[in-house]
Structure 1
Amino acid sequence: MRSKSLRFQITYRVLLFAVGIMVIGGAVAIWQARNAVEDEVESSINLALQLVKLGFSASPNPNIDATDWISRLSALKQTRHLNIQLQDDSGNLIDIAGGRESSEQDETPPRWFADLVGGDYPKVEYRIETHDNKVLTLVIQANPLDEITEVWGETRAFFLTICLLVLLIFMAVHLVFNKTLQAIETIVDALKLIETGEYRKKLPEFATQEYDSIAGAINHMTDVLERTRQKNRALTQHSLQIQEEERQRLSQELHDELGQSLTAIKVMAATAAHRGADTPKITQSITEICDHLIKVVRSMMQQLHPLILSELGLKATLEDLVEHWAERNPALSVELDCDDAVDTLDHAVTIQLFRVIQECLTNINRHAHASRVTITLAIDPARPGQLAVKVVDDGEGCHIEHVAAGFGLLGMKERIKSLDGEFSFHSRPGAGMTVEASVPIA
């Protein structure tokens, strides 16, 4: 299903709301107009009837002169909303002069409106006996045309007012909506630039508080992304530099150790070919040189990649690493508490964990001046699917902001993140440092 634009949805809802208001308002207006016409006509009929009765009660002779009453009824006939007639006992109408004439300038309401507002009104008959014993019938019948004309004008004015208000509301919504769309378009354009890696362009301040909050959050996000990109770029450059230094160091060791040793073996082999050479001594020297080369090659292989990690697992590799550090640094006590479950981890996970712990020991040896280090790898009891790694030293410690930008911690953090893990460290001057990581092992 194709999604509709926000402009269309809001305009559509505003129009539905306006139509609903007009329909409800029209129904209420017609209902009130109908009640008003009915009340007015009923009041006029009752008034005319009361006037007739009052005239009879005020007359000293109940037998009325027809000529006198006809003149009185001529004035009464001018009462609005009524048709007043006299009938004799034969049913013939008696003309009443002075009737109210409708103004030709009055606007006649539409037939459909008159049908909606009008109704069935009662016809009142009042019998009158004249002085010559004739019986006349006074007929009072409703004629609501004047009242319907008035309510038609009022209803039309009411509808025009509603239409004007709806138009004003629609215009106000349209103006506010245009301003809102401009803000949304600005934010969308900024997000498209962020998608391309342009983090330096900032969103402006908006007059609307909600949009200004969104702009502030996006600007903060771009600042964080820019800082992260700079850190990653620096980390990449540092990694490339370390790689080149490592290659240079290996090349130097190969040249100094292997090259010189192989040259010495070659010279000794050539010397052994001459008569009178001290073969046993030469053989012993070659053997010693070969033993030294074996140690050099093993050391280089250990630095490049610990083969024991693939053969015996992470726990044995860490125990070998701790033993190696104990030999090189007798003043540093390293304790290892490692769960046997680490040997079941994937090789990609174990090599990263090994490098993190190796980097921790290197940093402690270089900067912390610690005397005791505790390394713990165990399944987190609070989170069974997570392996908790913790390295604690009792060194000098430092302020977090002094080490947060260091490449060692940044490299460890990236290694843990590559495993979908969580990395954190805590330190303060004189209280050592704690490095913690949590890695999923499911």
Structure 2
Amino acid sequence: MSLRHQIIYRILISSLCMVVLGGAIAIWQARQSVDKEVEASIHLALQLITLGIADAPVFQQVDDLSHLRVLQETRHLSIQLQKPDGQLIQFTGDHQPSNPEEMPPAWYIRLVQENYPKVEHQLKTKDGKVLNLIIQAQPLDEITEVWQESVEFFASILLLTLLTFAAVNLVFNKSLKSIAVIVDALRGIESGQYQHKLPTFAVEEFDNIAKAVNHMMVELEKTRQENRALTQHSLAIQEDERQRLSQELHDEFGQSLTAIKVMAVTAAHQKADTRKISISITEVCDHLMTVVRSMMQQLHPLVLTELGLKATLEDLVNHWAERNPELELTINCGDEVDYIDKSITIHVFRVIQECLTNVIRHSQAQHVNIDLELLDSPHAQLQLRIQDDGKGCDFSKINRGFGLLGMKERIKSLNGEILCRSQPGEGMSISAWVPVV
């Protein structure tokens, strides 16, 4: 069910509840009003009768009704005078509405009208005859007035409800147009269209959503460009690595194998110096073994598979320390890291390798500290911290380079988190947390 229909149904149900509750209250008030009006009319009639006959406590004759003329304009009452012979004389009671269409419906009369008691008052004539004055409630005209007021009340509620529906529809039409624009933009995001920005909306809530969506588009486009650049860079590195390996295989292995072949052919002659040729072949083979180890180390460190992460990192640190004696490298690593899954250790190794490469190339640092430990609480995770005292950098001004981006992608691929902090002249600190299953 759409939001518009839900709101309309709720307004309709609320209006019906208001009508039912208002109807019950209106009927209760109508009963109270009619009761008070009838009671007041009866008391008024009795007072008029008392005042009308105060100067003549008894009638001169039975037909002398001049003292009761004051009762003819009394409202809501049927007043009759019963003679001793039983004849009834009607004074009031004809209060039917002049327009029959103004009559309230029968069900409303039954709900409002009550069984009002009949009031009788005895009068005496001069000759001792007793007349009976009968006063009975006839609240139809009052009920008619209350009915008209109720009709006006419910007509007002109906009008207010219609106006509410109209106002809600106007607001929803405007809101739904804004929602449709936002939904179209989200569908565009789903299909990879990040260039179409949402406009500014007059409604604050929609405008905040639009700003959030536009910011998300900018970040997604930025991330896509970074990933595209990183992919292209990775492909370029891969091709360069293949070309370098191909060139090295051609230069080293081709020349060495050719030399071995020539020396083997030469050794077949009777006058050849076999001992000297053997020594030369051995030297060429040793050189090839060194080249193979170097190539294998560049492709994948075998020591990582054979001896574990701790030994591999120590070997890496020793290698960089030998090549850069002016740089002090320290590493703190426990034996428990050797039991981590291999898919994690290779990424952690590459991150540390990239960090050391950046330190050597850019930081001009004198001290580098590497801490790697396995934490048990609150969840098992591997914590890596690398800190140097180099010249640092301002990340907002770094426009090129894929080292940091590559490290971030490696850590994120392991469902981890990485935090890089640096200020010019204050070195750099890299912290990473990788969950360990």
Q: TM-score range by the shorter chain?
A: over 0.9
Change (3 A) 1:174 1:87: same
State the shift of 1:383 in Å: 4.3
Question: 2:206 and 2:319 mapped to 1: Cα distance?
Answer: 59
The answer on whether the counterparts of 2:411 and 2:434 sit within 8 Å (CA) in structure 1 is yes
Question: 2:106 and 2:10 mapped to 1: Cα distance?
Answer: 33
Change (3 A) 1:436 1:403: farther
SS in 1 for 2:134: strand
For the pair 1:284 / 2:279, whether they are aligned, the reply is yes
Alignment partner for residue 169 of structure 1, among 160, 164, 173? 164
Point out the more displaced range, 19-28 or 372-381. Answer: 372-381
Q: Which amino acid aligns with 1:93?
A: Q
- Aligned position for 1:241: 236
Change (3 A) 1:98 1:19: closer
Point out the more displaced range, 249-258 or 374-383. Answer: 374-383
Q: Deviations over 1:156-204 (max 9, x none)?
A: 1111111111111111112112222222222122111111111111112
Alignment partner for residue 312 of structure 1, among 294, 307, 312? 307
The answer on whether the counterparts of 1:272 and 1:279 sit within 8 Å (CA) in structure 2 is yes
- Aligned position for 2:256: 261
Question: 2:20 and 2:215 mapped to 1: Cα distance?
Answer: 49
Alignment partner for residue 197 of structure 2, among 199, 202, 207? 202
State the shift of 1:103 in Å: 5.5
- Aligned position for 1:105: 99
Question: 2:88 and 2:186 mapped to 1: Cα distance?
Answer: 90
Question: Unmatched 5+ residue regions in structure 2?
Answer: none
Q: Which amino acid aligns with 2:391?
A: E
Q: Deviations over 1:243-299 (max 9, x none)?
A: 111111111111221111111111111222223222211111111111111101100
State the shift of 1:75 in Å: 4.2
Structure 1 residue runs of 4 or more that deviate by more than 6 Å after TM superposition:
none
For the pair 1:85 / 2:60, whether they are aligned, the reply is no
1:133-282 maps to which residues of 2 (within 5 A)?
Answer: 133-282=128-277
Question: 2:201 and 2:395 mapped to 1: Cα distance?
Answer: 36
- Aligned position for 1:410: 405
TM-score between both structures, scaled by the size of structure 1: 0.94
| RMSD after superposition | 1.8
Point out the more displaced range, 327-336 or 205-214. Answer: 327-336
Question: 2:434 and 2:368 mapped to 1: Cα distance?
Answer: 21
- Aligned position for 2:36: 39
Alignment partner for residue 359 of structure 2, among 359, 364, 367? 364
Question: 1:298 and 1:54 mapped to 2: Cα distance?
Answer: 134
State the shift of 1:400 in Å: 2.2
The answer on whether the counterparts of 2:95 and 2:140 sit within 8 Å (CA) in structure 1 is no
State the shift of 1:224 in Å: 0.3
Identity rate, percent: 59
Question: Unmatched 5+ residue regions in structure 1?
Answer: none
The answer on whether the counterparts of 2:81 and 2:89 sit within 8 Å (CA) in structure 1 is yes
Question: 1:439 and 1:100 mapped to 2: Cα distance?
Answer: 97
The answer on whether the counterparts of 2:379 and 2:435 sit within 8 Å (CA) in structure 1 is no
SS in 1 for 2:103: coil
Question: 2:288 and 2:147 mapped to 1: Cα distance?
Answer: 114
Q: Deviations over 1:110-131 (max 9, x none)?
A: 1111111111112111111111
Change (3 A) 1:121 1:431: same
Number of residue pairs matched?
436
The answer on whether the counterparts of 2:62 and 2:125 sit within 8 Å (CA) in structure 1 is no
Question: 2:346 and 2:265 mapped to 1: Cα distance?
Answer: 45
Question: 1:423 and 1:118 mapped to 2: Cα distance?
Answer: 82
For the pair 1:348 / 2:339, whether they are aligned, the reply is no
Question: 1:419 and 1:103 mapped to 2: Cα distance?
Answer: 89
The answer on whether the counterparts of 1:78 and 1:100 sit within 8 Å (CA) in structure 2 is no
State the shift of 1:327 in Å: 2.2
Q: Which amino acid aligns with 1:303?
A: Q
SS in 1 for 2:373: strand
Question: 1:435 and 1:105 mapped to 2: Cα distance?
Answer: 94
Alignment partner for residue 114 of structure 2, among 86, 108, 119? 119
